[in-house]
Amino acid sequence: MPDNMEIFRVIQKKFQDNDPSALELVYEHFGKRLYGYLISMVKSPSDAEEILNELFITVVRKREQIGKAENIRVYLFAIARNLAYEMFRKRTSQKETLSGYAQYLEISEDGGSKWDPEELDAVRKAVDGLPDEQREVVVLKIFERMTFEEISQLMRISQNTVASRYRYALEKLKEQMKGFEYE
């Protein structure tokens, strides 16, 4: 099975060659993860789907830039983030947050639930209690397995700021999750 970097290179090469299958590979490799990330931001499956559709339209329009991108994953998540914030700006009267990350928690790789209902509820409440900036770093670091460097590129902040937000978030989560035992 090819590793992520190999897949990224294949996708990038297909974009450089203007190969129509590049979009399909992007969807297969990133679609669910981008959707989960968008849900964590906009809290609405229909809004996340709408943004994801717009993201793929953007990918088609910017295929040349994607072929030259230094890190295709960061590039795609940046597009997703920018489109979500664009939606927020258009809906200034509504208060939207990053708390739809439950998509990540509820389903394991094999399609079943990893959590018992009490644990899931506690984790949701704990993550919901984080400030938006910390919550976004946690979602990207833990659920998307991005590095601090990738998160800093995506959020356009320093790696030290990312690491600090992550550390503060973990401290808060640890405090809020007292009483639960983990294997």
The answer to whether 127 and 173 have CB atoms below 8 angstroms apart is yes
- pLDDT digit string (tens) for 38-57? 998 888 888 899 999 999 99
Name the more confident of 116 and 96.
Answer: 116
The CATH class given to the 1-96 domain equals mainly alpha
pTM of the model: 0.60
The CATH class given to the 98-177 domain equals mainly alpha
Where do the structural domains in the chain lie, given as residue ranges? 1-96, 98-177
Which amino acid is located at 152 in the chain? S
Task: Decide: helix, strand or coil at residue 113.
Answer: coil
Integer CA distances (angstroms), 145 to 73, 76, 84, 148, in order: 11, 15, 20, 9
